[in-house]
Amino acid sequence: MRVGVLTGGGDCPGLNAAIRGIVRKGVEVHGFDFVGVRDGWRGALEGAVVPLDVPAVRGILPRGGTILGSSRTNPLASEDGVGRVRETLAEHEVDALIAIGGEDTLGVAAALGGEGIRVVGVPKTIDNDVAGTDYTFGFDTAVNIATEAIDRLHTTAESHTRTLVVEVMGRHAGWIALHSGIAGGANAILIPEQPFDIDQVCAWVENRFKIRYAPIVVVAEGAVPKQGQMVVKDSSLDAFGHVRLSGIGEWLAHEIAAHTGKEARTTVLGHIQRGGTPSAFDRWLATRFGLRAIDTVKDQDFGMMVALRGTDIVRIPLTEATVGTKAVDPSLYSEFGVFFG
Amino acid sequence: MRVGVLTGGGDCPGLNAAIRGIVRKGVEVHGFDFVGVRDGWRGALEGAVVPLDVPAVRGILPRGGTILGSSRTNPLASEDGVGRVRETLAEHEVDALIAIGGEDTLGVAAALGGEGIRVVGVPKTIDNDVAGTDYTFGFDTAVNIATEAIDRLHTTAESHTRTLVVEVMGRHAGWIALHSGIAGGANAILIPEQPFDIDQVCAWVENRFKIRYAPIVVVAEGAVPKQGQMVVKDSSLDAFGHVRLSGIGEWLAHEIAAHTGKEARTTVLGHIQRGGTPSAFDRWLATRFGLRAIDTVKDQDFGMMVALRGTDIVRIPLTEATVGTKAVDPSLYSEFGVFFG
Amino acid sequence: MRVGVLTGGGDCPGLNAAIRGIVRKGVEVHGFDFVGVRDGWRGALEGAVVPLDVPAVRGILPRGGTILGSSRTNPLASEDGVGRVRETLAEHEVDALIAIGGEDTLGVAAALGGEGIRVVGVPKTIDNDVAGTDYTFGFDTAVNIATEAIDRLHTTAESHTRTLVVEVMGRHAGWIALHSGIAGGANAILIPEQPFDIDQVCAWVENRFKIRYAPIVVVAEGAVPKQGQMVVKDSSLDAFGHVRLSGIGEWLAHEIAAHTGKEARTTVLGHIQRGGTPSAFDRWLATRFGLRAIDTVKDQDFGMMVALRGTDIVRIPLTEATVGTKAVDPSLYSEFGVFFG
Amino acid sequence: MRVGVLTGGGDCPGLNAAIRGIVRKGVEVHGFDFVGVRDGWRGALEGAVVPLDVPAVRGILPRGGTILGSSRTNPLASEDGVGRVRETLAEHEVDALIAIGGEDTLGVAAALGGEGIRVVGVPKTIDNDVAGTDYTFGFDTAVNIATEAIDRLHTTAESHTRTLVVEVMGRHAGWIALHSGIAGGANAILIPEQPFDIDQVCAWVENRFKIRYAPIVVVAEGAVPKQGQMVVKDSSLDAFGHVRLSGIGEWLAHEIAAHTGKEARTTVLGHIQRGGTPSAFDRWLATRFGLRAIDTVKDQDFGMMVALRGTDIVRIPLTEATVGTKAVDPSLYSEFGVFFG
């Protein structure tokens, strides 16, 4: 059997570990051979396919990124996308496809599965917002990086009397903000699932100044204030005449400084959260996902995705994973209320 | 209500995070006050008790070790140990006790619970071998440290043609060895749960030399070869006349060098696995354990222990947690066979 | 003798190590006692002084920030600033002052020295731009953090076909950009000392795409393009109506994307470069500076500053250190030209 | 011109960065081409030579170890070693050789230079004991690793009342011990250059227990007690019948435990000190050494070695670098006496 492997969406620590697990077990235990599909669904659309064997995956376990490249191309949005993917698979005699990706990539996989293409999914996203799995790989690494950054900011905040706002990734879900904020000892954590009250945030910050312990506010990029609290002006050109929208972190720092009369600064962590060597947990999870994904192909259990439940790797229908974003539950969020303010 | 808190057994990253969670929520939400019991059960036996309030737990979240000190003292082994613990609690008007520790500490807690002392347990151990919980805090940090060490050894092993043996913690269970070995790309992982065949290990090592890719063997300190493969000599004095027993890592390096005719070296990671700042995961888990432990006291649900199941924190009877060591399941271990050799 | 210690300017890893060295040797060897002056020159102006002894400096060696607080207050800009500083010193019976800081703080120290106040300087700045010393502490830590961030961005850049711009600190000097850019394998490094040609930068980036190796551009916050290449528009309000000036990193990413037709993203490292535990080098250097500074007080060699020359700590007049910013020499910069493009 | 490059002795972070600097500038600026000599002088003896060009050095900057392999082979100890090296160079039309290594490798280079072979040296050693250069690359990385380990041990030492002995590399010189011990806040540092008094060490340890602050003793592997303090017994077989000599760290822990009546443990850092990704400083230094080494070849300035003096890279005769080990100066060592005890 010949198996194709692709990685779609934003890159994520652990992708290479998953590819390695798939190929090592596929070749050495099941006797399969492999091709790599370049740059996610783009390669499947355009016939960009590369050799993939055991020597190709030597030494990639600790490396971030993906040796196969990635893109956000959606074949369903292309004319006859499904037909073209089918052609690529036929031309390279690919019997089954393993798609490693987040909600979008897996959604495409589910749709192609519905069209009879033999596909198995592996969930990944640093945001941890794929439904059906306790965790996705990449998340633990991102949380460690964000926590280390917050640790660093503590010493600055305490040396100067200053609020520090840290904007972390999470457009739709606040997992990174919540985990890193709790791990980093933030005194306010703002997530997309729950619109925040800027007056409450400022009160928490003031409170922290009273005990001479500097305030750190962790905010997910997708968090928003309560209705009416943010007024966006017409002008969205920056000093160079480029159109731009300031992030929520900058807005917060501005508001907090205005309310408290004390300096406030923003740090936007950005892409450093998604790069570099994966944490031990992510390498472990990605490796296990890879091993189980190729077993799923072996069992011809197509249309399924591997998922973590407790300490077990299970299989669930791809359609279950793509019903919507896994959000932070309000009850989990409120558990940590004692640390705010 | 006045609550005592103690930490017993080997120190472990996350202890301070748990103490902080207990005290912050206990004081600010439940209105309790606290005393710290020094050095585990020793303080309970000897009446060594210190103040513990919110200012005392400020800034301790990222710090390894335990602000309360620890010991391996077992009050059940002392004359009238139970009576003396009861006296200490009475003298300091302690209504309930939270014991944070591994198998031994929790076993004592269970026994004292059986004697009517109001106790709640929090599991910790870097070894991850406490039954009833998916993970204990400290483990993730230890695995990250061991994995980083293995990463470092790869470059040395590849630059010289040399086998490197890494001895990690795990007297009774191979969790650290298995997780760090898989995350670090070891080509043999030896655990206490499964006696190893030294000839097989040497064959795996030879195999790695053939592909010019240096062999790394990860071994838990408690791993042992198959019956008859290790002959311990009478002489157990070292060069200075001290009685000593070489570790399994040294034995392995010696045997591998003898079999393969190529250099082999051992690195014993030792105490660096248990110290230093906790990983984000361990801070998160320890904090959640702390918050739930004090809620358990609030609910007067004594004789229970907090535990992780999937992403939930649950309560289980202390007696369940102390039925025996949580071992690595043979089926889990064999999942990774493809990476050996 | 009673010695006052203050830390001024931006916080910087190693400040606490220097304070500890001063106090340990001052008390234990020279028999001095100490007071801490709060928040740099502000405390000297306002009489904010705290006790400072050996127990106060226990455990601070690995901690970032400064236990004495810091500010950018300039006493020379206050009415009768010199007189008020003199009063504070007299009131607390301070015989000599050790001022730890960058160009501004040391400039004040030099001026006060000129007025007869007995002062010794210790240079610090993460920017490494103080004249007269090979390195300042804080710089090595900042470069390590920036290099680690660049390492992380490599994997993202290579997985997507994308330019990544990293904006690092350095308003007047490009030391952090140059060191971290070389250590991180950047293919363009832009520094304040040398206006860059945006067309040249875009050509370098294109070149990197040709070899399928993703471009990383490291830019100091103070770098500027050649005359005429940047047109700043009237509008400097952001989407929320706040006045703002986009950083050079954002401008670069926009220009590069426009020229190359391929995505470009910016990461602004910001405050994480100045916080957290100091590197071993910075702890070593700060400790040695501290020990020598208190010896300089002992020798009554006032008006001097400690400095690093090769592996030696020497004393130089404070006035030498404050003649101007230590810039990156064009010949050093051009040494690395082979790596650009 | 065709240039050969070899790396000899123990591997060391920064070797690949140096190789990359040599090849990038050699090819792109000077128009040279290159061959890699495998495994240090062994390859030169046995004619083991591999291609080395710009693509071969892409991506190796952050990688520890050496892509050329290393060994401790000494050609001067082989029959007609010089002749065989000359033959290898002639056969592969190598006009000049760059030898990267420590005292031994550079000593061979000096000798071959004396025989008319055109050779340029680059010093490396994690031990920092090569004469003539302020620092060698690899040292900063090793010190950072050792310091991080000491940081981790602090929390363990403080949680249990226990002495922790850390044995670091340094057979002939105490640079790693001194730098990491000072950076890590050790309360005793023992180096080969100065025989220690075990009674003094025990007194320092006792002192630390009195202030309830746990003792950390850092010892270089080559440190020895004063004459008569260590009695080595006949028996040097371990429990498995292998001949062995316990390290100095183990001996110290045994003695300290015996004297103080409190537990003492040893951690031997071993090979993790020499592996893994180089620090920013080491990448910077190794890159600069590489660039200057190939310029030295271009200038036909053979028999020379590059060296660091302050912030400058200079050239010195190879014979100067090999006059003997660069030891820690007693006056430098005694600067830190205030921290002991």
> D-chain residues within 8 Å CB-CB of C309?
310
C341 is a domain residue = no
Q: Which of A221, A228, A273, A227 lies closest to A252 in space, CA to CA?
A: A221
- Measured between CB atoms, which of D145, D156, D269 is closest to B275? D156
Q: Which of C151, C216, C158 lies closest to A38 in space, CA to CA?
A: C158
What is the percent of chain D where pLDDT is above 90?
Answer: 84
Q: Dig out the tokens for D321 from the structure.
A: 């670098």
Which has more confidence, C237 or D116? D116
Binding-site residue positions of A for Mg(2+)? 103
> D158 pLDDT band (50/70/90 cuts)?
confident
Same domain, C95 and C183: no
Helix or strand run (H / E) with residue C324? none
Which residues of chain A are at the B interface, by a Cβ-Cβ cutoff of 8 Å? Answer: 24-25, 28-29, 58-59, 61-62, 134-135, 140, 143-144, 146-147, 151, 179-180, 182-185, 211, 213, 277, 279-281, 283-284, 287-288, 291, 309-311, 335-336, 338-339
Is the pLDDT confidence value at D243 over 70?
A: no
A213 contacts B28? CB cut-off 8 A: no
How far apart, in whole angstroms, are the C-alpha atoms of residue B235 and residue B225? 20
Catalytic residue among B39, B104, B127, B295: B127
Contact yes or no for B277/B62 (Cβ under 8 A):
yes
Mean pLDDT of chain A: 93
- Measured between CB atoms, which of A235, A239, A242 is closest to C241? A235
B323-327, C267-271, D97-101, D227-231: segment of lowest average pLDDT: D227-231
B340 is a domain residue = no
In terms of Cβ atoms closer than 10 Å to its own Cβ (0-12, 13-18, 19+), residue D93 is: exposed
Q: Dig out the tokens for C55 from the structure.
A: 């127990």
pLDDT score at C110 = 97
Q: How many domains does chain B have?
A: 2
How far apart, in whole angstroms, are the C-alpha atoms of residue B22 and residue B142? 23
The partner residues of C280 in beta bridges, in order of sequence, read none
Sequence-ordered alpha helix ranges (H) in B1-128: 15-28, 41-46, 81-91, 103-114
Catalytic residue among C11, C127, C140, C282: C127
Domain encompassing residue C289 = 2-138+275-321
Binding-site residue positions of D for diphosphate? 10
B338 is a domain residue = no
pLDDT score at B246 = 63
Q: How distant is the Cα of D76 from the closest Cα of chain B, in angstroms?
A: 21
How far apart, in whole angstroms, are the C-alpha atoms of residue C145 and residue C180? 9
Contacts for A77 with CB less than 8 Å, ≥ 6 apart: none
DSSP structural state of residue A328: P
Tens digits of per-residue pLDDT, A244-288? 456 899 899 999 999 999 989 999 998 899 989 999 999 999 999
pLDDT score at B202 = 96
- Torsion of Cα atoms, C64 then C66 then C70 then C75, to 10°: -130
How far apart, in whole angstroms, are the C-alpha atoms of residue A177 and residue A197? 17
Taking CA atoms, B139 is separated from A62, B130, B325, C110, C311, in Å, by: 20, 11, 15, 53, 41
Q: Give the chain A residue whose CA is nearest to the CA of C265.
A: A271
Tens digits of per-residue pLDDT, D276-301? 999 999 999 999 999 999 999 999 99
Which has more confidence, A76 or D341? A76
- Torsion of Cα atoms, B14 then B18 then B20 then B25, to 10°: 150
> A145 pLDDT band (50/70/90 cuts)?
very high
Same domain, A117 and A149: no
Q: What count of CB pairs under 8 Å joins A to B?
A: 95
Which has more confidence, B168 or D230? B168
- Torsion of Cα atoms, A41 then A42 then A45 then A46, to 10°: -150
A62 contacts B280? CB cut-off 8 A: no
Please give the average per-residue pLDDT across C121-146, as a whole number: 97
Catalytic residue among A11, A39, A127, A295: A127
Mean pLDDT of chain C: 93
In terms of Cβ atoms closer than 10 Å to its own Cβ (0-12, 13-18, 19+), residue D77 is: exposed
Q: How distant is the Cα of D246 from the closest Cα of chain B, in angstroms?
A: 6
Q: What are phi and psi of B176, to 5 degrees?
A: -65, -45
B328 is a domain residue = no
Taking CA atoms, D325 is separated from A285, B140, C7, D6, D128, in Å, by: 48, 42, 40, 22, 9
**Residue B189 C-alpha from the chain's centroid:** 19
Is the pLDDT confidence value at C333 over 60?
A: yes
A311 contacts B281? CB cut-off 8 A: no
D335 contacts C147? CB cut-off 8 A: no
Query: At B59, which CATH number?
Result: 3.40.50.450
Count CA atoms within 13 Å of residue D120 on its CB side.
Answer: 25
> B-chain residues within 8 Å CB-CB of A288?
335
The partner residues of A166 in beta bridges, in order of sequence, read A218, A267
C127: annotated active-site residue? yes
Contact yes or no for A72/A78 (Cβ under 8 A):
no
Same domain, A115 and A157: no
The partner residues of B2 in beta bridges, in order of sequence, read B33
What is the percent of chain A where pLDDT is above 90?
Answer: 84
D283 contacts C182? CB cut-off 8 A: yes
Contact yes or no for D164/D214 (Cβ under 8 A):
yes
DSSP code string of A12-59: -TTHHHHHHHHHHHHHHTT--EEEEETTTHHHHHHT-EEEE-HHHHTT
- Per DSSP, the three-state class of B262 is coil
pLDDT score at B230 = 74
Please give the average per-residue pLDDT across D308-336, as a whole number: 94
Please give the average per-residue pLDDT across C216-229, as a whole number: 93
Binding-site residue positions of A for substrate? 125-127, 162, 169-171, 221, 265, 271-274
How far apart, in whole angstroms, are the C-alpha atoms of residue D227 and residue D303? 41
> B-chain residues within 8 Å CB-CB of A280?
140, 143-144, 146-147, 179-180, 183-184
Which has more confidence, A309 or A321? A309
B217-226, D178-187, D205-214: segment of lowest average pLDDT: D205-214
Contact yes or no for A104/A80 (Cβ under 8 A):
no
Q: How distant is the Cα of A145 from the closest Cα of chain C, in angstroms?
A: 10
Same domain, A268 and A290: no
DSSP structural state of residue C77: G
Task: Please identify, among B215, B246, B273, the residue that sits at the C-terminal boundary of a domain.
Answer: B273
pLDDT score at A105 = 95
Same domain, D268 and D178: yes
pLDDT score at C115 = 95
Tens digits of per-residue pLDDT, A150-207? 999 988 877 877 899 999 999 999 999 999 999 999 999 999 999 999 999 999 999 9
Per-residue buried b or exposed e for A208-217, using 16+ beta carbons within 10 Å of the residue's own CB: beeeebbbbb
Q: What are phi and psi of C321, to 5 degrees?
A: -80, -15
Count CB atoms within 10 A of the CB of residue B258: 11
Q: Between β-strands C312-317 and C304-309, what pairing exists: parallel, antiparallel or unpaired?
A: antiparallel
Contact yes or no for C115/C313 (Cβ under 8 A):
no
pLDDT score at B238 = 52
A258 is a domain residue = yes
Which has more confidence, C321 or A238? C321
pLDDT score at D234 = 44
C331 is a domain residue = no
Same domain, A10 and A93: yes
pLDDT score at B211 = 81
Mean pLDDT by 10 residues, chain B (341 residues): 96 96 98 97 97 95 94 92 96 98 95 96 96 97 97 84 93 97 97 96 93 88 89 52 67 93 90 93 98 98 98 96 91 95 84
Mean pLDDT of chain D: 93
pLDDT score at D227 = 85
C281 contacts D58? CB cut-off 8 A: no
Q: What are phi and psi of C97, to 5 degrees?
A: -130, 135
Same domain, D93 and D124: yes
What is the percent of chain A where pLDDT is above 70?
Answer: 95
Tens digits of per-residue pLDDT, C58-107? 999 999 999 999 999 999 999 999 999 999 999 999 999 999 999 999 99
Is the pLDDT confidence value at A238 over 80?
A: no
Q: Dig out the tokens for A196 from the structure.
A: 């925040």
Same domain, A78 and A106: yes
Please give the average per-residue pLDDT across D218-245, as a whole number: 70
Q: Three-class SS string for chain D?
A: CEEEEEECCCCCCCHHHHHHHHHHHHHHCCCCEEEEECCCHHHHHHCCEEEECHHHHCCCCCCCCCCCCCCCCCHHHCCCHHHHHHHHHHHCCCCEEEEEECHHHHHHHHHHHHCCCCEEEEEECCCCCECCCCCCECHHHHHHHHHHHHHHHHHHHHHCCCEEEEEECCCCCCHHHHHHHHHHCCCEEECCCCCECHHHHHHHHHHHHHCCCCCEEEEECCCCECCCCCCCCCCCECCCCCECCCCHHHHHHHHHHHHHCCCEEEEECHHHHCCCCCCHHHHHHHHHHHHHHHHHHHCCCCCEEEEEECCEEEEEEHHHHCCCECCCCHHHHHHCHHHCC
Q: Give the chain C residue whose CA is nearest to the CA of D22.
A: C338
Q: Read off the pTM.
A: 0.94
Q: Dig out the tokens for D157 from the structure.
A: 């030492």
How far apart, in whole angstroms, are the C-alpha atoms of residue A337 and residue C156? 35
Tens digits of per-residue pLDDT, D42-74? 999 999 999 999 999 999 999 999 999 999 999
- Per DSSP, the three-state class of A187 is coil
pLDDT score at A243 = 47
Contacts for A322 with CB less than 8 Å, ≥ 6 apart: A103, A106, A107, A110, A131
D221 is a domain residue = yes
D336 is a domain residue = no
Same domain, C51 and C198: no
Same domain, B103 and B164: no
Same domain, A233 and A312: no
How far apart, in whole angstroms, are the C-alpha atoms of residue D164 and residue D158? 10
In terms of Cβ atoms closer than 10 Å to its own Cβ (0-12, 13-18, 19+), residue B241 is: middle
In total, chain A counts a number of residues equal to 341
D232 contacts B159? CB cut-off 8 A: no
Q: What count of CB pairs under 8 Å joins C to D?
A: 95
- Torsion of Cα atoms, D282 then D64 then D15 then D169, to 10°: 70
Taking CA atoms, A183 is separated from B16, B44, B56, in Å, by: 12, 30, 18
Same domain, D108 and D179: no
Which has more confidence, D219 or C238? D219
